[in-house]
Protein backbone atom coordinates (compact mmCIF):
# COMPACT_ATOMS: atom_id res chain seq x y z
CA UNK A 1 0.00 0.00 0.00
CA UNK A 2 2.76 2.46 0.94
CA UNK A 3 4.65 1.64 -2.23
CA UNK A 4 1.54 2.28 -4.33
CA UNK A 5 0.86 5.61 -2.60
CA UNK A 6 4.47 6.64 -3.12
CA UNK A 7 4.30 5.85 -6.84
CA UNK A 8 1.00 7.72 -7.16
CA UNK A 9 2.42 10.77 -5.35
CA UNK A 10 5.59 10.64 -7.45
CA UNK A 11 3.58 10.43 -10.68
CA UNK A 12 1.40 13.36 -9.60
CA UNK A 13 4.48 15.39 -8.70
CA UNK A 14 6.08 14.73 -12.07
CA UNK A 15 2.87 15.68 -13.88
CA UNK A 16 2.59 18.94 -11.89
CA UNK A 17 6.25 19.73 -12.61
CA UNK A 18 5.77 19.14 -16.34
CA UNK A 19 2.61 21.26 -16.36
CA UNK A 20 4.49 24.04 -14.58
CA UNK A 21 7.35 23.89 -17.09
CA UNK A 22 4.92 23.99 -20.02
CA UNK A 23 3.07 26.96 -18.51
CA UNK A 24 6.34 28.77 -17.79
CA UNK A 25 7.53 28.32 -21.36
CA UNK A 26 4.11 29.18 -22.77
CA UNK A 27 3.79 32.42 -20.79
CA UNK A 28 7.24 33.57 -21.91
CA UNK A 29 6.45 32.78 -25.55
CA UNK A 30 3.17 34.71 -25.38
CA UNK A 31 4.81 37.67 -23.64
CA UNK A 32 7.55 37.81 -26.28
CA UNK A 33 5.16 37.69 -29.25
CA UNK A 34 5.13 41.51 -29.76
CA UNK A 35 8.87 41.74 -29.10
CA UNK A 36 10.56 41.91 -32.51
CA UNK A 37 14.32 42.23 -32.11
CA UNK A 38 17.24 43.38 -34.26
CA UNK A 39 20.83 43.98 -33.22
CA UNK A 40 21.29 46.78 -35.74
CA UNK A 41 18.77 48.93 -33.87
CA UNK A 42 18.44 52.35 -35.53
CA UNK A 43 21.34 51.84 -37.97
CA UNK A 44 20.27 49.85 -40.99
CA UNK A 45 22.71 47.31 -42.41
CA UNK A 46 23.13 49.45 -45.51
CA UNK A 47 24.37 52.34 -43.38
CA UNK A 48 26.95 50.47 -41.32
CA UNK A 49 30.01 51.28 -43.43
CA UNK A 50 29.10 54.99 -43.59
CA UNK A 51 28.74 55.21 -39.80
CA UNK A 52 31.92 53.22 -39.23
CA UNK A 53 33.92 55.66 -41.32
CA UNK A 54 32.31 58.66 -39.65
CA UNK A 55 32.87 57.62 -36.04
CA UNK A 56 35.89 55.28 -36.28
CA UNK A 57 36.83 54.23 -32.70
CA UNK A 58 35.82 56.53 -29.84
CA UNK A 59 37.20 56.38 -26.29
CA UNK A 60 35.88 57.01 -22.79
CA UNK A 61 38.39 56.93 -19.94
CA UNK A 62 38.54 56.53 -16.18
CA UNK A 63 41.44 56.28 -13.74
CA UNK A 64 42.05 52.57 -14.34
CA UNK A 65 39.99 51.79 -17.46
CA UNK A 66 39.48 52.78 -21.08
CA UNK A 67 36.43 51.93 -23.16
CA UNK A 68 36.66 51.60 -26.94
CA UNK A 69 33.43 52.14 -28.87
CA UNK A 70 32.54 51.84 -32.56
CA UNK A 71 29.74 50.83 -34.93
CA UNK A 72 29.64 47.05 -35.30
CA UNK A 73 28.52 44.74 -38.09
CA UNK A 74 28.19 41.35 -36.34
CA UNK A 75 26.70 39.55 -39.34
CA UNK A 76 29.94 40.04 -41.23
CA UNK A 77 32.70 41.06 -38.80
CA UNK A 78 34.51 39.93 -35.68
CA UNK A 79 36.76 42.56 -34.09
CA UNK A 80 40.18 41.85 -32.62
CA UNK A 81 41.61 44.36 -30.13
CA UNK A 82 45.37 44.88 -29.78
CA UNK A 83 47.33 46.90 -27.20
CA UNK A 84 50.68 48.45 -27.98
CA UNK A 85 53.63 47.78 -25.72
CA UNK A 86 57.01 46.74 -27.08
CA UNK A 87 54.86 45.29 -29.85
CA UNK A 88 51.18 44.95 -30.67
CA UNK A 89 49.61 42.27 -28.45
CA UNK A 90 46.13 40.84 -28.90
CA UNK A 91 44.01 41.39 -25.79
CA UNK A 92 40.58 40.20 -26.92
CA UNK A 93 37.84 39.74 -29.49
CA UNK A 94 34.23 40.88 -29.74
CA UNK A 95 31.36 40.98 -32.20
CA UNK A 96 29.90 44.13 -30.60
CA UNK A 97 31.12 47.71 -30.92
CA UNK A 98 32.47 47.82 -27.39
CA UNK A 99 35.60 46.74 -25.53
CA UNK A 100 36.39 47.64 -21.91
CA UNK A 101 40.04 47.50 -20.83
CA UNK A 102 40.53 47.49 -17.05
CA UNK A 103 43.36 47.44 -14.49
CA UNK A 104 45.31 50.20 -16.20
CA UNK A 105 47.60 52.77 -14.57
CA UNK A 106 46.19 56.24 -13.80
CA UNK A 107 47.33 59.20 -15.90
CA UNK A 108 48.99 57.00 -18.50
CA UNK A 109 48.71 57.03 -22.29
CA UNK A 110 47.78 53.80 -24.09
CA UNK A 111 47.42 52.88 -27.75
CA UNK A 112 44.94 50.35 -29.09
CA UNK A 113 44.07 48.93 -32.46
CA UNK A 114 40.66 47.54 -33.42
CA UNK A 115 40.70 45.40 -36.54
CA UNK A 116 37.84 43.50 -38.17
CA UNK A 117 38.33 40.18 -39.90
CA UNK A 118 37.65 42.07 -43.11
CA UNK A 119 39.49 44.89 -44.80
CA UNK A 120 36.83 47.51 -44.14
CA UNK A 121 37.54 48.34 -40.47
CA UNK A 122 41.00 48.91 -38.98
CA UNK A 123 41.58 51.86 -36.65
CA UNK A 124 44.18 52.84 -34.07
CA UNK A 125 43.50 55.19 -31.14
CA UNK A 126 45.50 56.63 -28.26
CA UNK A 127 43.90 57.62 -24.97
CA UNK A 128 45.11 58.65 -21.54
CA UNK A 129 43.58 57.38 -18.32
CA UNK A 130 42.35 59.92 -15.79
CA UNK A 131 44.10 60.84 -12.58
CA UNK A 132 43.91 58.66 -9.49
CA UNK A 133 40.43 57.73 -8.29
CA UNK A 134 39.64 57.70 -4.59
CA UNK A 135 38.67 54.28 -3.26
CA UNK A 136 35.83 55.89 -1.31
CA UNK A 137 32.38 54.44 -1.97
CA UNK A 138 29.30 56.38 -0.89
CA UNK A 139 25.95 54.90 0.09
CA UNK A 140 22.84 56.92 -0.88
CA UNK A 141 20.18 57.33 1.81
CA UNK A 142 16.72 58.91 1.70
CA UNK A 143 16.93 61.66 4.30
CA UNK A 144 13.47 63.29 4.37
CA UNK A 145 9.79 62.58 3.98
CA UNK A 146 8.26 62.30 0.53
CA UNK A 147 6.92 65.59 -0.79
CA UNK A 148 4.25 65.58 -3.56
CA UNK A 149 5.36 67.23 -6.81
CA UNK A 150 2.70 66.58 -9.41
CA UNK A 151 -0.61 64.73 -9.62
CA UNK A 152 -2.45 64.89 -12.96
CA UNK A 153 -6.18 65.58 -12.86
CA UNK A 154 -7.30 66.44 -16.41
CA UNK A 155 -5.16 64.04 -18.44
CA UNK A 156 -4.90 61.03 -16.15
CA UNK A 157 -5.22 59.73 -12.62
CA UNK A 158 -1.60 58.95 -11.76
CA UNK A 159 2.06 59.08 -12.75
CA UNK A 160 4.23 55.99 -12.94
CA UNK A 161 7.70 55.88 -14.59
CA UNK A 162 8.66 59.47 -15.34
CA UNK A 163 11.40 61.93 -16.20
CA UNK A 164 12.32 65.30 -14.70
CA UNK A 165 14.12 67.83 -16.88
CA UNK A 166 14.68 71.56 -17.43
CA UNK A 167 13.73 73.32 -20.64
CA UNK A 168 16.00 75.98 -22.19
CA UNK A 169 13.99 78.74 -20.47
CA UNK A 170 14.92 77.29 -17.07
CA UNK A 171 11.51 75.82 -16.17
CA UNK A 172 11.23 72.42 -14.51
CA UNK A 173 9.16 69.72 -16.16
CA UNK A 174 7.92 66.28 -15.22
CA UNK A 175 6.49 63.88 -17.80
CA UNK A 176 5.41 60.35 -17.10
CA UNK A 177 3.22 57.34 -17.75
CA UNK A 178 -0.46 57.93 -17.11
CA UNK A 179 -4.02 56.77 -17.82
CA UNK A 180 -7.34 57.14 -16.06
CA UNK A 181 -8.06 54.68 -13.27
CA UNK A 182 -5.85 52.86 -10.79
CA UNK A 183 -3.23 51.65 -13.28
CA UNK A 184 -3.55 49.69 -16.54
CA UNK A 185 -0.46 49.38 -18.73
CA UNK A 186 -2.52 48.55 -21.83
CA UNK A 187 -4.14 52.04 -21.72
CA UNK A 188 -0.96 54.09 -21.22
CA UNK A 189 -0.58 55.83 -24.58
CA UNK A 190 0.73 59.32 -23.71
CA UNK A 191 2.51 61.17 -20.91
CA UNK A 192 1.04 63.50 -18.32
CA UNK A 193 3.02 66.72 -18.17
CA UNK A 194 3.60 69.19 -15.35
CA UNK A 195 5.72 72.33 -15.07
CA UNK A 196 7.01 74.76 -12.43
CA UNK A 197 9.29 77.79 -12.42
CA UNK A 198 11.51 76.47 -9.64
CA UNK A 199 12.49 73.27 -7.87
CA UNK A 200 11.23 72.20 -5.52
CA UNK A 201 8.02 74.06 -6.38
CA UNK A 202 6.17 76.05 -3.73
CA UNK A 203 3.11 73.87 -4.36
CA UNK A 204 2.21 71.26 -6.94
CA UNK A 205 3.46 71.54 -10.50
CA UNK A 206 0.96 73.00 -12.96
CA UNK A 207 -0.62 70.49 -15.35
CA UNK A 208 -0.12 71.03 -19.09
CA UNK A 209 -1.48 69.21 -22.12
CA UNK A 210 -0.25 65.62 -22.48
CA UNK A 211 2.69 64.80 -24.72
CA UNK A 212 3.74 61.83 -26.90
CA UNK A 213 0.20 60.95 -27.98
CA UNK A 214 1.32 59.22 -31.17
CA UNK A 215 -1.07 56.27 -31.43
CA UNK A 216 0.95 53.61 -29.65
CA UNK A 217 1.90 52.67 -26.08
CA UNK A 218 4.05 55.29 -24.36
CA UNK A 219 6.04 54.14 -21.33
CA UNK A 220 8.91 55.43 -19.24
CA UNK A 221 10.28 58.56 -20.95
CA UNK A 222 13.71 60.02 -20.38
CA UNK A 223 14.75 63.48 -21.58
CA UNK A 224 18.27 64.77 -22.20
CA UNK A 225 19.41 68.12 -23.62
CA UNK A 226 22.01 68.62 -26.33
CA UNK A 227 22.78 71.91 -28.07
CA UNK A 228 19.52 73.53 -26.92
CA UNK A 229 17.45 70.63 -28.21
CA UNK A 230 15.60 68.14 -26.02
CA UNK A 231 15.59 64.44 -26.89
CA UNK A 232 12.98 62.19 -25.31
CA UNK A 233 13.45 58.46 -25.70
CA UNK A 234 10.68 56.12 -24.51
CA UNK A 235 9.33 52.57 -24.95
CA UNK A 236 8.01 49.74 -24.82
CA UNK A 237 9.29 46.91 -27.06
CA UNK A 238 11.19 49.38 -29.21
CA UNK A 239 12.87 52.74 -28.84
CA UNK A 240 10.79 55.80 -29.73
CA UNK A 241 12.15 59.33 -30.11
CA UNK A 242 10.49 62.73 -29.83
CA UNK A 243 12.32 66.07 -29.91
CA UNK A 244 11.52 69.57 -28.70
CA UNK A 245 13.08 73.01 -28.42
CA UNK A 246 10.91 74.26 -25.53
CA UNK A 247 9.92 71.15 -23.53
CA UNK A 248 6.23 71.68 -24.24
CA UNK A 249 5.78 71.01 -27.95
CA UNK A 250 7.17 67.69 -29.13
CA UNK A 251 7.59 66.04 -32.53
CA UNK A 252 7.92 62.27 -32.94
CA UNK A 253 10.94 61.26 -35.03
CA UNK A 254 9.43 58.09 -36.48
CA UNK A 255 12.40 57.49 -38.77
CA UNK A 256 14.58 56.84 -35.72
CA UNK A 257 12.34 54.26 -34.03
CA UNK A 258 14.41 51.12 -33.48
CA UNK A 259 14.04 47.47 -32.50
CA UNK A 260 16.04 46.17 -29.51
CA UNK A 261 18.57 43.36 -29.23
CA UNK A 262 16.73 41.56 -26.40
CA UNK A 263 12.99 41.25 -25.68
CA UNK A 264 11.15 43.08 -22.89
CA UNK A 265 12.93 46.31 -23.83
CA UNK A 266 11.59 49.29 -21.87
CA UNK A 267 12.42 52.13 -19.44
CA UNK A 268 15.31 53.79 -21.33
CA UNK A 269 17.60 56.12 -19.41
CA UNK A 270 20.42 58.08 -21.08
CA UNK A 271 23.78 59.10 -19.62
CA UNK A 272 26.35 61.29 -21.34
CA UNK A 273 29.79 59.73 -20.76
CA UNK A 274 31.97 61.87 -23.00
CA UNK A 275 31.73 64.52 -25.69
CA UNK A 276 29.39 63.16 -28.36
CA UNK A 277 29.01 59.83 -26.53
CA UNK A 278 25.93 58.61 -24.73
CA UNK A 279 24.81 55.33 -23.17
CA UNK A 280 21.20 54.15 -23.00
CA UNK A 281 20.34 51.78 -20.15
CA UNK A 282 17.20 49.68 -20.56
CA UNK A 283 15.28 46.87 -18.93
CA UNK A 284 15.60 43.60 -20.87
CA UNK A 285 15.59 39.83 -20.59
CA UNK A 286 18.39 37.68 -21.98
CA UNK A 287 17.22 34.07 -22.03
CA UNK A 288 15.63 33.20 -18.69
CA UNK A 289 17.19 35.97 -16.62
CA UNK A 290 16.78 39.74 -16.58
CA UNK A 291 19.46 42.24 -17.53
CA UNK A 292 20.11 45.94 -17.77
CA UNK A 293 21.23 46.32 -21.38
CA UNK A 294 23.41 49.13 -22.69
CA UNK A 295 23.11 50.80 -26.10
CA UNK A 296 25.67 53.26 -27.44
CA UNK A 297 25.24 56.41 -29.52
CA UNK A 298 27.57 59.07 -30.90
CA UNK A 299 24.79 61.47 -31.94
CA UNK A 300 21.82 60.76 -29.59
CA UNK A 301 19.85 59.46 -32.57
CA UNK A 302 21.48 56.26 -33.85
CA UNK A 303 21.92 53.46 -31.30
CA UNK A 304 23.44 50.00 -31.16
CA UNK A 305 23.46 47.39 -28.41
CA UNK A 306 26.93 46.91 -26.93
CA UNK A 307 26.72 44.86 -23.68
CA UNK A 308 24.85 44.22 -20.42
CA UNK A 309 25.56 46.72 -17.65
CA UNK A 310 24.10 44.31 -15.10
CA UNK A 311 23.32 40.62 -15.44
CA UNK A 312 21.26 38.47 -13.11
CA UNK A 313 21.81 34.75 -12.75
CA UNK A 314 20.94 31.66 -10.70
CA UNK A 315 20.32 32.66 -7.09
CA UNK A 316 18.72 36.03 -7.82
CA UNK A 317 15.39 36.58 -6.11
CA UNK A 318 13.42 37.42 -9.26
CA UNK A 319 13.52 36.29 -12.88
CA UNK A 320 10.21 37.58 -14.23
CA UNK A 321 9.06 36.73 -17.73
CA UNK A 322 8.49 40.48 -18.23
CA UNK A 323 12.04 41.20 -16.90
CA UNK A 324 12.61 42.21 -13.29
CA UNK A 325 15.33 44.86 -13.66
CA UNK A 326 12.98 47.81 -14.12
CA UNK A 327 13.59 51.56 -14.33
CA UNK A 328 17.40 51.57 -14.56
CA UNK A 329 19.10 54.86 -13.73
CA UNK A 330 22.86 55.53 -13.64
CA UNK A 331 24.41 58.52 -11.90
CA UNK A 332 27.94 59.61 -11.12
CA UNK A 333 29.02 60.81 -7.68
CA UNK A 334 32.57 61.73 -6.75
CA UNK A 335 34.11 59.72 -9.53
CA UNK A 336 32.14 56.50 -9.11
CA UNK A 337 29.01 55.26 -10.88
CA UNK A 338 25.82 54.05 -9.23
CA UNK A 339 23.15 51.96 -10.95
CA UNK A 340 19.61 52.06 -9.56
CA UNK A 341 17.18 49.26 -10.51
CA UNK A 342 13.63 48.84 -9.24
CA UNK A 343 13.48 45.08 -8.69
CA UNK A 344 9.94 44.00 -9.59
CA UNK A 345 8.06 41.17 -11.36
CA UNK A 346 8.52 37.92 -9.47
CA UNK A 347 9.52 34.67 -11.14
CA UNK A 348 7.31 31.97 -12.65
CA UNK A 349 4.30 31.91 -14.90
CA UNK A 350 1.60 32.97 -12.46
CA UNK A 351 2.96 36.47 -11.87
CA UNK A 352 2.05 37.92 -15.30
CA UNK A 353 -1.41 36.39 -14.86
CA UNK A 354 -1.80 37.92 -11.39
CA UNK A 355 -0.73 41.31 -12.74
CA UNK A 356 -3.58 41.31 -15.26
CA UNK A 357 -5.95 40.72 -12.32
CA UNK A 358 -4.31 43.51 -10.27
CA UNK A 359 -2.94 41.12 -7.66
CA UNK A 360 0.51 41.83 -6.20
CA UNK A 361 1.50 39.32 -3.52
CA UNK A 362 3.91 41.59 -1.63
CA UNK A 363 3.12 45.27 -2.09
CA UNK A 364 6.24 46.45 -0.28
CA UNK A 365 8.54 44.86 -2.86
CA UNK A 366 6.96 47.16 -5.46
CA UNK A 367 9.24 49.82 -3.93
CA UNK A 368 12.40 47.69 -3.73
CA UNK A 369 15.14 49.58 -5.54
CA UNK A 370 18.62 48.07 -5.62
CA UNK A 371 21.73 50.27 -5.83
CA UNK A 372 24.92 48.88 -7.40
CA UNK A 373 28.28 50.63 -7.70
CA UNK A 374 31.20 50.50 -10.13
CA UNK A 375 34.27 52.49 -11.12
CA UNK A 376 32.91 52.66 -14.69
CA UNK A 377 29.47 53.05 -16.30
CA UNK A 378 29.69 49.92 -18.49
CA UNK A 379 29.92 47.02 -16.07
CA UNK A 380 28.17 46.51 -12.72
CA UNK A 381 28.75 42.77 -12.68
CA UNK A 382 26.42 39.84 -12.08
CA UNK A 383 23.74 39.74 -9.39
CA UNK A 384 22.97 36.33 -7.85
CA UNK A 385 20.95 37.47 -4.85
CA UNK A 386 21.42 39.42 -1.62
CA UNK A 387 23.52 36.70 -0.02
CA UNK A 388 26.06 36.38 -2.83
CA UNK A 389 29.01 38.76 -3.40
CA UNK A 390 28.24 41.43 -5.99
CA UNK A 391 28.40 45.17 -6.52
CA UNK A 392 25.09 45.59 -4.64
CA UNK A 393 25.50 48.50 -2.23
CA UNK A 394 22.13 49.13 -0.62
CA UNK A 395 18.36 48.93 -1.06
CA UNK A 396 16.13 52.02 -1.16
CA UNK A 397 12.36 52.21 -0.76
CA UNK A 398 11.23 53.96 -3.96
CA UNK A 399 9.54 53.01 -7.21
CA UNK A 400 11.01 53.99 -10.61
CA UNK A 401 13.11 56.76 -9.04
CA UNK A 402 14.88 59.58 -10.81
CA UNK A 403 17.96 61.15 -9.23
CA UNK A 404 19.39 64.61 -9.77
CA UNK A 405 21.43 67.32 -8.07
CA UNK A 406 20.29 70.94 -7.87
CA UNK A 407 22.00 73.76 -5.99
CA UNK A 408 24.25 71.29 -4.18
CA UNK A 409 21.37 69.11 -2.97
CA UNK A 410 20.56 65.62 -4.24
CA UNK A 411 16.96 64.56 -4.78
CA UNK A 412 15.20 61.24 -5.41
CA UNK A 413 11.67 60.75 -6.75
CA UNK A 414 9.07 57.99 -6.54
CA UNK A 415 5.76 57.22 -8.27
CA UNK A 416 3.60 54.23 -9.17
CA UNK A 417 0.22 52.71 -9.86
CA UNK A 418 -2.32 53.72 -7.18
CA UNK A 419 -3.67 50.17 -6.82
CA UNK A 420 -0.32 48.90 -5.61
CA UNK A 421 1.97 51.73 -4.53
CA UNK A 422 2.40 52.19 -0.78
CA UNK A 423 4.41 55.44 -0.98
CA UNK A 424 2.15 57.53 -3.22
CA UNK A 425 -1.47 57.58 -4.40
CA UNK A 426 -0.99 58.68 -7.98
CA UNK A 427 1.40 61.60 -7.55
CA UNK A 428 5.10 61.93 -8.25
CA UNK A 429 6.86 62.72 -4.98
CA UNK A 430 10.43 63.70 -4.13
CA UNK A 431 12.67 63.42 -1.09
CA UNK A 432 16.14 64.58 -0.14
CA UNK A 433 19.02 62.20 -0.77
CA UNK A 434 22.29 62.20 1.14
CA UNK A 435 25.51 60.24 0.60
CA UNK A 436 27.17 58.40 3.47
CA UNK A 437 30.77 57.20 3.22
CA UNK A 438 30.89 53.42 3.25
CA UNK A 439 33.07 52.09 6.03
CA UNK A 440 35.37 49.17 5.31
H or E element, residue 436: strand 428-437
User: From CA 234, how far away is CA 222, in angstroms rounded?
Assistant: 6
Last residue of a domain, one of 128, 158, 178: 128
Q: What is the pLDDT of residues 222-267, one digit of tens each?
A: 999 999 999 999 999 999 999 999 999 999 999 999 999 999 999 9
**Cβ neighbour number for residue 55 with a 10 Å cutoff:** 20
| Number of structural domains found in the chain | 2
DSSP annotation of 189 reads: -
Q: Three-class SS of residue 393?
A: strand
Q: What is the pLDDT of residue 274?
A: 95
CATH number, domain containing residue 120: 2.60.40.10
User: From CA 237, how far away is CA 246, in angstroms rounded?
Assistant: 27
How confident is residue 28, by pLDDT bands cut at 50, 70 and 90?
confident
Last residue of a domain, one of 128, 151, 186: 128
Q: What is the pLDDT of residue 4?
A: 74
243 and 263 co-located in one domain = yes
In a domain, 372, yes or no: yes
Q: What is the pLDDT of residue 422?
A: 94
**Domain of 308, in residue numbers:** 138-437
- CA distances (Å), 170 to each of 20, 195, 196, 210, in order? 54, 11, 10, 20
Highest mean pLDDT among 12-21, 132-141, 153-162: 153-162
Provide DSSP, 259-312: --SSSS-EEEEEEEEETTEEEEEEEEEETTEEEEEEEEESSSS--EEEEEEEEE
Q: Three-class SS of residue 315?
A: coil
In a domain, 282, yes or no: yes
In a domain, 17, yes or no: no
> Do 138 and 438 form a contact (C-beta atoms < 8 A)?
yes
224 and 81 co-located in one domain = no
pTM: 0.95
CATH number, domain containing residue 158: 2.115.10.20
The pLDDT mean for the chain works out to 93
In a domain, 34, yes or no: no
How confident is residue 216, by pLDDT bands cut at 50, 70 and 90?
very high
Q: In what order do the strands lie in the sheet with 240-244?
A: 219-226, 229-235, 240-244, 251-252
Question: Out of 7-16, 83-92, 242-251, 336-345, which region has the weakest mean confidence (pLDDT)?
Answer: 7-16
**Taking 70 as the threshold, does the pLDDT of residue 292 lie above it?**
yes
**Taking 70 as the threshold, does the pLDDT of residue 63 lie above it?**
yes
> Do 150 and 174 form a contact (C-beta atoms < 8 A)?
yes
217-248 as b/e: b if 16+ CB within 10 A = bbbbbbbbbeeeebbbbbbbbbbbbbbbeebb
In a domain, 31, yes or no: no
374 and 353 co-located in one domain = yes
232 and 92 co-located in one domain = no
291 and 424 co-located in one domain = yes
In a domain, 33, yes or no: no
325/361: higher pLDDT: 325
273 and 167 co-located in one domain = yes
End-to-end CA distance of the chain: 61
321 and 250 co-located in one domain = yes
142 and 111 co-located in one domain = no
380 and 279 co-located in one domain = yes
85/37: higher pLDDT: 85
120 and 51 co-located in one domain = yes
Query: Mean pLDDT throughout 368-396?
Result: 97
Q: What is the pLDDT of residues 296-336, one digit of tens each?
A: 999 999 999 999 999 999 999 999 999 999 999 999 999 99
Last residue of a domain, one of 101, 128, 155: 128
41/195: higher pLDDT: 195
> Do 154 and 207 form a contact (C-beta atoms < 8 A)?
yes
Q: What is the pLDDT of residue 2?
A: 64
Question: Out of 142-151, 352-361, 368-377, which region has the weakest mean confidence (pLDDT)?
Answer: 352-361
Give the contacts of 265 (CB within 8 A, at least 6 positions apart). Answer: 35, 235, 236, 237, 238, 239, 282, 283, 284, 293
28/430: higher pLDDT: 430
Query: Mean pLDDT throughout 194-216?
Result: 96
323 and 189 co-located in one domain = yes
Q: What is the pLDDT of residue 34?
A: 74
**Taking 80 as the threshold, does the pLDDT of residue 440 lie above it?**
no
DSSP annotation of 387 reads: T
**Taking 80 as the threshold, does the pLDDT of residue 18 lie above it?**
no
Q: What is the pLDDT of residue 133?
A: 77
In a domain, 114, yes or no: yes
In a domain, 10, yes or no: no
DSSP annotation of 97 reads: S
103 and 212 co-located in one domain = no
Amino acid sequence: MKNRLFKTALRAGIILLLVGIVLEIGVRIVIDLPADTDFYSSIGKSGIEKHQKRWKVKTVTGATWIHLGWIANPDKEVYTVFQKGDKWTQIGETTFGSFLIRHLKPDTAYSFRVKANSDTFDYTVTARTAGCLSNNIYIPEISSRWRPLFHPQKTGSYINDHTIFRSPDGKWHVAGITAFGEGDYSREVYFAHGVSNEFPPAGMMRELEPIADYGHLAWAPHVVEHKNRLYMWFSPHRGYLATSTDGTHWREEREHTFLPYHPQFRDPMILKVSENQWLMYVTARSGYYSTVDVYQSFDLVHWQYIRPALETACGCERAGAQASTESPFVLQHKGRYYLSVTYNNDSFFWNPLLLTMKIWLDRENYNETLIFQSDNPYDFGIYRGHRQPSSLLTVLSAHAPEYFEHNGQWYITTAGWPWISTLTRGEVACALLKWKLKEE
